[in-house]
Amino acid sequence: MSYHEILNWFDEQGVQAAFSQVGDKYEFWDANKLANGVLASFSIAAFPGSKQIAVSHGAWVREDWRGKGLNTLLVKLRQDIARDRGFYMMLATALIHGPSRTCMEKHDWIMVEPNACNYGLFSCVLSGI
């Protein structure tokens, strides 16, 4: 999966989108609404002290684009970016009953059940990439 494929997907949805990367942050924009026009974003950083584990954080899809398959494309893109950057595993968190967790499970992420430290709200998810 590449960001070009996601830009093509947006074209098919009738939106001219743009892509930007600044450091570890990746964003898709509505090219016609650059002010407050972020459609989706995520970040990928190295786990502190490890060059082999990526941490996916800040994954977000604008509310009016949820439920249309965009998150599925972004999960694949995040895995491919991490693999291209030389990581072997990716770590993230997801709400226990949220759509991100369901989507990640479909793409072979391993769920580590919550514990008392996070009040049962979040699950740690791992992906061998």
**Which domains are assigned to the chain?**
3-128 (3.40.630.30)
- Given this model, what pLDDT does residue 32 score? 86
Pair 92, 59: CB distance under 8 Å: yes
Confidence of residue 126 (pLDDT cuts 50, 70, 90): low
What predicted TM-score, i.e. pTM, was given to this entire model?
Answer: 0.83
24-28 long-range Cβ contacts below 8 angstroms, 24+ apart = 25/58, 26/77, 26/81, 28/3
List pLDDT tens digits, range 53-92.
999 998 999 999 999 999 889 988 998 999 999 998 888 8
pLDDT of residue 113: 67
How many CB atoms within 10 Å of residue 34?
10
Encoding tokens for residue 126?
Answer: 């791992």
